[in-house]
Amino acid sequence: MSDFIFKSATELAMLIKTGKATSTQVVEEHINHIRKHNGMLNAVVQLFDKEAVKIAAECDNEAKQGKFRGPLHGVPMTIKEQFSIKGTPSTLNSSRLNRWVASDDSVVVERLKMAGAIIIGKTNVAKELFDYQVYGDIYPVGKNPYNLEYSPGGSSGGASASLASGMSPLEVGADFGGSIRIPANFCGVYGLKTTEDTIPRKGLIPRKKREKAFIFNMAVAGPMARTPEDIELLWKVLVGSHKSDRTTPKIDWNNNKDKRPEEYKIAWTDRWKGYEPSEDTQEVIVDFIELISAKGYNTEKAVPGKNLHMRSLSLYKQLSLQLIMQEMPWYAKPLFVKHMKSSVFKGDRTKLKWKFRDSMLDYSKVMGKRADITNEWETFFEHYDFLICPVGYGNAYKCRKPGKPIRYKDERVAYMDYVWPYNACFNCSGNPSLNIPLGIGQNGLPVGVQIVGPYWSEPDLLKFAKHISQYTTGFVKPGWY
């Protein structure tokens, strides 16, 4: 029986700090666990075993002298493959970047190291980070720990599988259209999509040396973990301004620490019009609302008017294409759009809007519309503290060819419609949102809900998650463990 696997990062940090465990013991046990189980999951694609053990020994020597690097001193963790770590590849699982090696650390990695964390490996991703499954040109197909035939989600699927299988107590994912929340939901862990522009994005994705600039709208880094306490611990390490990114402001965080449950007003919905989820998902939402209502929270079934979610999705698709294709020569764009229509967006009901040439005027018009949409969401949150809604149509689906419709309980759902409508709208608006795991569904796969807040409400979201976790099943270990 292991001593440290499936313990939280908070627990591990305390064991190391009090001398009840050494970092070397904790790190070696996690490395051995990865070696034992990773072959069936393909969650970890780069293992830094020798370097990790060396750093753990340094942390142990410092601990003996009463010196600690930070709140994660000596705690092992993994990180999504896309983040730059000096001297290691970030390929995005694509042959286009198969020789790309980072020349320095990302800001996220810098902060993890300063906090004392030991990064023991990098985790698997969807090719070019653009799918809700994990596959690509370089790494083997990622699997869901609860059923190997099912997707762990994407693009941070290796991250969620690593957490759910006990290979790591902490992860950092990135979210451009649900890439933190969907894997977290598929694998039954917590995943926080942070408010846009609150975690610096230097080193978020690999960039060629000749690039002079790159626009990152809607993409954010965020913590993933098995407990809300660990999400909060890691979020505090990651968040805040940095000299490399002046767009990350110093923020007076919205924290109603003295607010009682009965003082909160929470909106909820079990469906978007036009994207009705499964009956199972609707039942999960309703049961959760009954639970929090019983604990004193005021709840009201409500969504913004004027079809805001659909307009958000439409604008997200337009802006995301502009961002994805910003480096492409104009003649390659129609080929890319054709590929998208025949793969991940096959059967999607909203049209892909694009031009052979995108001007700065086109981009500025979209950003103007985006500002209006964000204002509409924020106006909604002037009346409610949170919005609770589904993360997708249902829980994890079987691995399949991208674009192939998903069948769930005799219903046929377009490939992207299964998950993206409930996630991409909040990438468009920039609002923070948190996946909360609620245990295992009838089919043996994790279920959960998404809770969304106004800008800079992460402290409140985490306070709520910690409070309500006392009454929910939360994370459940896979049956094979």
- pTM for the model: 0.96
Is residue 328 included in any domain, yes or no? yes
Q: What does the radius of gyration of the chain's CA atoms come to, in whole angstroms?
A: 21
Name the residue range of residue 357's domain.
9-468
Confidence bin at 210 (pLDDT 50/70/90): low
Is residue 2 included in any domain, yes or no? no
Q: Which residues are catalytic?
A: 80, 155, 179
Is residue 3 included in any domain, yes or no? no
Strands lying side by side in the sheet with 76-80: 44-47, 118-123, 76-80
**CA separation for the pair 164, 381 (Å, rounded):** 32
**CA separation for the pair 41, 9 (Å, rounded):** 22
Q: Which pairing describes strands 411-413 and 386-389: parallel, antiparallel, or unpaired?
A: unpaired
The whole-angstrom distance between residue 19's C-alpha and the CA centroid of its chain comes to 33
Is residue 4 included in any domain, yes or no? no
Identify the pLDDT of residue 284: 97
Give the tens place of pLDDT for each residue, 340-398: 777 877 877 666 666 656 777 888 999 999 999 999 999 999 999 999 999 999 999 99
**CA separation for the pair 288, 264 (Å, rounded):** 16
101-113 core/surface letters (b: 16 or more CB in 10 A; e: else): ebeebbbbbbbbb
Is residue 64 included in any domain, yes or no? yes
Give me the CATH number covering residue 432: 3.90.1300.10
Three-state DSSP state, 329: coil
Give the tens place of pLDDT for each residue, 393-438: 999 999 999 999 999 888 899 999 999 999 999 999 999 999 999 9
- Contact by Cβ (8 Å): 122, 46: yes
Is residue 474 included in any domain, yes or no? no
Is residue 317 included in any domain, yes or no? yes
Identify the pLDDT of residue 351: 65
Is residue 477 included in any domain, yes or no? no
- At residue 311, φ and ψ (nearest 5 deg) are -65, -35
Domain count for the chain: 1
Give the lowest-confidence range in 151-160, 240-249, 329-338.
329-338
**CA separation for the pair 397, 143 (Å, rounded):** 11
